[in-house]
Chains A and B, each alone.
Chain A
C-alpha cells in the first residue's frame, strides 16, 4: 500500500493509530453501503413525490375542476332538498364526496380497535406478568404466526365464515358490514398491539416492582399502579401502530365490508373504506382522468394520516424508553 493512499493524516496521529487503512476497493464498497442506506430515504421521498404528483391536479388542475373541486369532495350536495354525501364516480354526473369513505374507514377501524385493544393488551399483561414459561413459549410464537397470516386469507375467512356468524348473532341488515370488516381487521391488528405492549411491559425495570413490593404493595397493586402506568406510553404506541395498520389495511375490508358508500353510523350496514375504494376502482379508471387523480388524492391523504401516526408513535416509544431508563431525569 502506497503512502499516498493513506490519506491526509497528521504525523502525530499516524504514529499512534496503527490500524491499517482501507484499500481502494474497500472504500468503494463502503461508499456503496452508505449510498444504499440512503435508498430508504429516497424511497420515502419518491412515495411522497409520485403519489403527491398524481394527487395534486385535484387541487390545481382546471381540467379536473370541471368535474370535481376540493370543496365538492367534502361538502354535501343538495339532492331533492336533502344534503347528501355521495361517492358515485361512474354515474352520469360523477360525484366524488370522500366523506363516506373516510367515515367508513373510521367505522371499521373503531370496531377493530374496540375489540383488539382490550384483548391484546390484556393478553400482553398475561404474557409479561403471569404466564408460566411453558405457556409463554407457546403464546408468543403463535401470535407471531398470527401476524404472518396473509390479510387476503383473513379477509376470505371473514367473507365466507365470519359474516354468517355475525349476521346470526347481531341480526345485521346486510351480510357484509362494518362489524364483519372490523372483526376481520382485529385479527390483523391484535398481533401488532400485543407485541408492542408486551415489549413495553417487559422493559419496565424490575426495580420498579421490587420497590413497590418493598413499600408493602401487593403484586396486583404493583402491577396496576406502578408497572402498567410506566408501560402506558409503550402500550399507547402499540395502539397507535394498530390504528395505522387497521386504517391502511386493504384486503380484509375490500372482501368483508360490503363496499357500499353510505353515510350512517349503523355498524350493521354495508361500508366502503378509502383503501377498498382505491383497490376496486384504480384498475378500471382512465389514466389522467379526474377519477384517477381523486383516487391518488385518497392515497395521499391516507399516506399523510399514517405518516403522522408513525411519527407520533416513534415519539411515544422514544419518550417511554427515555423515562424508563432515567436518562433524562
Chain B
C-alpha cells in the first residue's frame, strides 16, 4: 500500500517538523501519505470545533439582544410573546437542586462501595457496574416513561392512598417526581467521577491512616473523601449541568408550559428553561413573535450549562494536577 521511501524523500520530509517526535531521530518518513493524514485528521478536528463555534455564535448573536434584567426577572406575558423567563429559571434551579440532593449522596455512596468496600472479584460489584453503565445508556425519553409509570402513577398513588385518603396530591406530575427521575439519570455521572477521584487517592494515605489505628470507615470519612473532594465536586457539577439541560425525562413528570405562580410545594408542577424552548418552538402560534424569546431562553440555558461545565473542567484539571505529583 505504501511504497518504500527513497533516501531523498526521507530527508525531504524530516526537515518539516510537523509530526516529528524528539525521541525518534532515525525514523523513516513517507511524505505524501503522512501529509494527507495530518491534513485530513486536522481538518476533521477543525470541523468539530467549527460545529461548536457556529452553534454558539448563532445562539449568542440571536439571544444577546434579549438578555436583560427584565427578561431574567419577569414572568411571561401576552400568551408567551412578551415578558421574561423568571419562573423557568426558578423552576430549573429548584429542579436541579432537588436532583442534586438525591443523586450526589447516592452516587458518592455507590462509588465508595465500588472502590473501598467491594472485593476485587465481587460479582455484586460487577452487577452494580453493569447497571451503572446501562443507566448511562438508557435513552432519556425512557426515563420519562419510567418516571411517569413508577414515580407518578405508582409511588404517588400509593402515597395518596395511604396518607391522603386517596385524594389527588402526589399522584400527578410534580417537582419532586421530576427531580427524582433526573437523579436516576444523572447517577452514573456522579458515580463515574467519584470513582475516578477515589482511585486517584494514593494507597499510602489509606495505609497510613489504618496503621495509626483508624478503622476503615474512619479512614474513608476523614482521609479518603476529603482528599477526593475536588473530584466529587466535579462530578456533582457535571450532573447539575446535565440535569439542567435535559427535557425528555421531565416532560411527563412535572414540567409545565405556563404557570401563574412559582412552585411552593414539592408536589407542584414547575416551568423549566429547556422545556420552555421545546414548547415555544413546537407549539407557538406565532413563531416570528416568539423567536427572540426562544433565542434568549436558549442562550440563558446554554450559559448556565457552559458555566457549570467550565467550572467542572477547571476543577478537575486542578485536582488531577494536585494529586499526581504527591505520589
Contact = CB atoms under 8 A, between A and B. Distances in A.
B139 A250 contact: yes
Interface stretch (A70-78, A89-97, A123-131): A123-131
B245 interface: yes
Counting chain A CB atoms within 10 Å of each CB, the highest count among B29, B130, B140, B142 belongs to B142
Contacts of A46: 146, 150
A62 interface: no
A37 B49 contact: no
B37 to A, nearest CB: 6
Contact of B274 (A150, A248, A254): A150
Interface stretch (A7-15, A306-314, A320-328): A306-314
Contacts of A53: 149
A30 B48 contact: no
A294 to B, nearest CB: 12
A214 to B, nearest CB: 10
B2 A123 contact: no
Interface stretch (B66-74, B75-83, B275-283): B275-283
B128 interface: yes
B137 A153 contact: no
Contacts, number: 290
B27 A219 contact: yes
A50 B145 CA distance: 8
Given A30-B217, A156-B294, A299-B142, A282 B148 contact: yes
Contacts of B138: 47, 248, 303, 306-307
B129 to A, nearest CB: 9
Interface in A263-312: 275, 278-280, 282-283, 287, 295-296, 299, 302-303, 306-307, 309-311
Contacts of B114: 37
A313 B135 CA distance: 14
A43 interface: yes
Given A187-B51, A220-B33, A44 B135 contact: yes
A270 to B, nearest CB: 14
A223 B113 CA distance: 40
Contacts of B48: 119-120, 123, 142-143, 146, 190, 194
Contacts of A141: 313
A208 interface: no
B302 A150 contact: yes
A157 B145 contact: no
Contact of A303 (B27, B139, B216): B139
B161 interface: no
A267 B301 CA distance: 31
| Chain B facing A: main interface SS | helix
B117 A54 contact: no
A119 B51 CA distance: 11
B117 A303 contact: no
A44 B117 contact: no
Given A47-B142, A50-B150, A149-B305, A216 B117 contact: no
A200 interface: no
Contacts of A154: 55
B28 interface: yes
Interface of B: 1-2, 5, 18-19, 21, 24, 27-30, 33-34, 37-38, 40-45, 47-49, 51-52, 55, 58-59, 62, 105-106, 109-110, 112-114, 117, 124, 127-128, 130-146, 148-150, 153-154, 184, 187-188, 191, 210, 213-218, 241-242, 244-248, 251-252, 274, 277-278, 281-282, 291, 294, 298, 301-302, 305-306, 308-310, 313
Top 8 A-B residue pairs of the complex, sorted by shortest distance between their CB atoms: A248-B139, A150-B245, A122-B44, A126-B41, A37-B113, A36-B109, A50-B149, A310-B137
Given A142-B49, A254-B282, A309-B137, 10 more contacts: A30-B117, A33-B113, A50-B145, A129-B41, A148-B245, A148-B309, A149-B52, A159-B281, A161-B58, A248-B137
